[in-house]
Amino acid sequence: MKNPLPTLLLLAAFCAPLTQAQPEGEGWIQMFNGENLDGWRITEENPGSFRVEDGILVADGPRAHLFFIGEDGEADFTDFEMTCKVLTRHQANSGIFFHTRYQPEGWPAHGYEAQINATHSDRRKTGSIWSVADILDDPPHEDDEWFEYTLVVRGSEITLKVNGEVVTQYTEPDDPGHETRRLSSGTVALQAHDPESVIHFKELWIRPL
């Protein structure tokens, strides 16, 4: 009889929950449990565009947004750091909105968007603060490979990092020229951009600073 141990170990690996490695430091809040969308609120517009699949949060479908509300439903951050792992498929477009607030449909009107895009036709690539501080045509990562995306807001400064490297640093002026696209406070939202855009997220963590 063959040794059953390798088969048992393989089955255990598939059945075991995916680890959600916590970043170094204190104060981190786990945003995604790898099992369901507890702690999140999806728009009324196209709620099927988000799902959990094999421990991964998948954005796949027509426009929708998934807002982090936390355990108490009142998640709100001013100065904060957020980190997550992201994987883009070919021609995918997405984003992480911050200092935003829930709305049932449409593009979020409040806050800024940290762009996610390696090969979509939009020239604004990952690391852009969409239409405010843009990285054009030269993405800092490849499709089909996990990368670490980090957002930091301190006072009037926004810093975006890809795999630990600073790709954008922006200081908001006293008058940013927009009533709602500005720093204040709020939550984070993930974007499903269009039916051709497939984005995977995992290991989502946030902490107030």
Yes or no: say if 192 and 96 are a contact pair by the CB < 8 Å rule.
no
- Is residue 21 over pLDDT 50? yes
Average pLDDT value over all residues in the chain: 92
The dihedral through the CA atoms of 34, 38, 39, 40 has a sign that is positive
- pLDDT computed for residue 19 by the predictor: 58
Greater confidence, 45 or 20?
Answer: 45
**What CATH number labels 37-208?**
2.60.120.560
pLDDT surpasses 90 at 116: yes
Say yes or no to pLDDT of 4 above 90.
Answer: no
pTM exceeding the 0.85 threshold for the entire prediction? yes
**Nearest to residue 70, comparing CAs of 107, 32, 43, 34?**
32
d(CA 37, CA 32): 7
Give the number of other Cβ atoms within 10 Å of residue 135's Cβ. 20
pLDDT range class, residue 5, cuts 50, 70, 90: very low
Tens-place pLDDT, residues 54-72: 999 999 999 999 999 999 9
CB-based contact 106:180 (threshold 8 Å): no
Residue 190 has pLDDT above 90, yes or no: yes
Cα gap 29→82, rounded to integer Å: 9
Backbone angles phi, psi at 166, to 5 degrees: -65, 125
Lowest mean pLDDT among 111-120, 140-149, 173-182: 173-182
Strands 198-208 vs 40-42: parallel, antiparallel or unpaired: unpaired
Kindly list the domain boundaries of the chain, sorted by start residue: 37-208
Q: Which residues contact 33 (CB under 8 A, 6 or more apart)?
A: 20, 39
pLDDT at residue 199, rounded to an integer: 98
